[in-house]
Chain A
Amino acid sequence: MIHLKRTVPLAIAFLSGIILMLQYFIPHPASETVLQYSQDWLTTIAYVAMLLGVGSLLQSHSLKIRRQVPGWGYSAVALITFGLTVLAGFHGKEDGPGGPLNWIYENLLNQMSATMFSILGFFIASAAFRAFRARSLESTLLLLAAVIIMLGQVPVGAHLPVIPEAAAWILAVQTTAAKRAIMFGVALGSIATALRVIFGIERAYLGGE
């Protein structure tokens, strides 16, 4: 049993990692075939992950309803609407115009998503009013950059002196430099983590070690 839980997943991770790493550097039809197979696997796993997500959603909300935790009514609404949407999906053509699923999409999901996003604008205004304070040099610089970018991104900024040029400079130079540094850091971290997974040093994915 221990082999199935530990050794087999570790062996799969090692072999997959090594094969795909080598594949990238081998320009040969056989290598392309390996890539093709691996992509099929990746796509399949992505869909299985979606199923796992659905399972997790059902489990989590069912538990809340059973235990009647505060706000369990929302979980009931989530499960009922989930069930209705699935039923609508099975009824008629997948998501063709005029179908029940499309009706749910256009008249419920679309409107609610847009409403949620619209409300966000008000909260951003409130949060900016509360949080943007020139308390230190760093926060003052952040505040100034935010104001310049906000004004530089809209037509009214074009009528103000220096703002458009300053906004373009912040985006093209400052932001790029910071973003690039973060990307390099993330890339190096990803490589290190990948190597740790491939060589079995990192085993958290096996169930927390």
Chain B
Amino acid sequence: MSVELKKLIPRWAVFFVVAVALVWSLLIPRKSDFPGTSVVKGVYDRIDALPAGSPVLISSDFDPGSEAEMEPMLRAVLAHCWRKKLRVVVMTLCSPNSMPLARRIVTEAAATHGAVEGTDYALMNFKAGASAAILALGQSWAQVYPVDLNGTKISEIPAMKGITKLTDFPYALCIASVNTADSWVLAGNARYGLNVGIGCTAVSATDYYPYLNSKQITGLIGGLAGAAQYESLVKEPGDASAKMPTQSVIHVTIVLLIVIGNILHFVAKWRKS
């Protein structure tokens, strides 16, 4: 920022504009219908096509920093799975901070949908070494996870019935704010042929488009917008739909700030010349 521009519009003024836009966005009437793109439908259709009782693996690889963006995604997918009477297995490869968060979200969503731990879903603890853990799961599930998060033996959990290795899951979805999604594609899909979908933050969505085009992943839920589309597909508007007006307003505000910054820059340049 040039000295003139800094004086004309200081940093606090930019922050103030963003704060005003943020507060104003909360007053905008909420919309609940966001048409699903083919990219998001790639995940939805795969889960929707599974017969009742099928297991679905969800790798919940995000921590509190990205909770606002990722939680609605996880909730929408869980709602879809339980409505289809699918068994859900939730694990994490992100960090030890991820599973307490995932447990809270899954437990709350289960209470809403009447899902029972052990029967409709199972929770697994954090495992370090993302790719190594996935490769090991492809060999033997019980070797990596002999017990679930509560210490119950895998063989005694009805939700884990028939699961001996990774490929026993007809579908796996990695909801990640870190790069574990790459591990799921490179170790899970490339090595074992596992059908993989990805849910990620909006900023990292561009990283996964090559996998989408090469059909290494079936679909991609990108950021809050993707989560809002998924909520619309499962007809259960939630946090993502509610937050979309705010995201719209802030994006437009940033674009306007960029335009104003450029106008001021060129005016200053023209005056100088």
Contacts of B1 in A (CB 8 A): 129-130
Which residue of A49, A114, A151 is within 8 Å of B64 (Cβ)?
A114
A171 within 8 A of B: yes
Inter-subunit contact A125/B14 (CB<8 Å): yes
List A166-201 residues whose CB lies under 8 Å from chain B: 168, 171-172, 175-176, 179-180, 183
A117 within 8 A of B: yes
Contact with A along B60-99 (1 / 0, CB 8 A): 0001111110000000000000000000000000000101
Contact with A along B15-36 (1 / 0, CB 8 A): 1011100000000000100100
B257 within 8 A of A: yes
How long is the Cα–Cα vector from A152 to B14 in the complex, in angstroms? 23
How long is the Cα–Cα vector from A46 to B42 in the complex, in angstroms? 33
List B122-178 residues whose CB lies under 8 Å from chain A: 127-129, 132-133, 135-136, 139-140, 143-144
Inter-subunit contact B15/A126 (CB<8 Å): yes
Inter-subunit contact A155/B31 (CB<8 Å): yes
B119 within 8 A of A: no
Contacts of B254 in A (CB 8 A): 124-125, 128-129, 150
Which residue of B18, B68, B136, B245 is within 8 Å of A114 (Cβ)?
B68
Inter-subunit contact B213/A134 (CB<8 Å): no
User: How many residue pairs, one in A and one in B, have C-beta atoms under 8 Å apart?
Assistant: 148
Interface majority SS (helix, strand, loop, mixed), chain B: helix
How long is the Cα–Cα vector from A126 to B99 in the complex, in angstroms? 34
B199 within 8 A of A: no
> How many A residues touch the partner, as a band?
35 or more
Interface segment, A33-41, A58-66, A76-84?
Answer: A33-41
How long is the Cα–Cα vector from A113 to B18 in the complex, in angstroms? 20
Contacts of B34 in A (CB 8 A): 155
Inter-subunit contact A175/B206 (CB<8 Å): yes
* A161 smallest CB distance to B (angstroms): 16
Inter-subunit contact B14/A43 (CB<8 Å): no
Binding site for B on A (CB under 8 A): 32, 35-36, 39-40, 42-43, 45-47, 49-50, 95, 97, 102, 105-106, 109-111, 113-114, 116-118, 121-122, 124-126, 128-130, 132-134, 143, 146-147, 150-151, 153-156, 168, 171-172, 175-176, 179-180, 183
Query: Which 5 pairs between the two chains have the least Cβ-Cβ distance?
Result: A46-B129, A42-B132, A113-B64, A46-B128, A39-B136
> Given contacts A36-B136, A43-B144, could you give 12 more A-B pairs where the C-beta distance is less than 8 Å?
A35-B135, A46-B132, A109-B64, A113-B65, A126-B14, A130-B1, A133-B261, A175-B206, A175-B209, A179-B206, A179-B207, A179-B209
16 cross-chain CB contacts under 8 A: A36-B136, A39-B135, A40-B136, A43-B136, A105-B97, A109-B64, A117-B65, A122-B18, A125-B15, A128-B258, A133-B265, A150-B254, A150-B255, A153-B247, A171-B206, A179-B206
